Amino acid sequence: MAWTKNQMAQRAAQELKDGFYVNLGIGLPTLVANYIPNNINVWLQSENGLLGIGEFPTEETVDADLINAGKQTVTVKAGGSFFSSSESFAMIRGGHIDVAILGAMEVSEQGDLANWMIPGKKVKGMGGAMDLVAGVQRVIVLMEHCTKDGFPKILKQCQLPLTGCQVVNRIISNLGVFDITIQGIRVIELAEGESLENVQQVTGVQLIQ
């Protein structure tokens, strides 16, 4: 049985270690903030100049002036700090962010990432994704395994404009966990109830174990 979005976020949170500095991409990855284990200290960073993002606010704690890069309202944990976007990107480009958890529209067998635009559709801009994939130490993609139309999002080659080449280390989808390796895309874990045969049918490349 496929993981729900919350279960995907919970699984992604297991990738984090004590002391990590982490950037969460827009959309599904932002849910990871709600599932960081209590026994580790992780600092969430946002491109718009915030370090120390907490869980999403309740109606009682919401502050319209506190937003992440996706313009969602957030909370700030004790010790959090605010700074300019130029300083934020200096952290990213300087290799000071341990992990970026990003959404994706397509990922190739080689770890190429397409997540910023679909030709012909309006976009606000590429955001910080290109800087993130080039500057962080590890890139994890958190996405649905297939498009809304049922087409695979893990492909031999990306069809959409690339965000970065050979930048993805791990994919966490609603069907399981997969690593990009020299030999190909390796299955690390499958969602409970899912079989390798079923997952292979909705994947655009040959999976390896």
CB 145 within 8 A of CB 199: yes
Positions annotated as catalytic residues are: 47
DSSP 104: -
Measuring CA to CA, which residue among 125, 129, 97 is closest to residue 112?
129
| Torsion (CA) 166, 118, 172, 12 in degrees, nearest 10 | 100
In Å, how far are 86, 105, 158, 183, 197 from 208, measured between CA atoms? 41, 22, 19, 8, 11
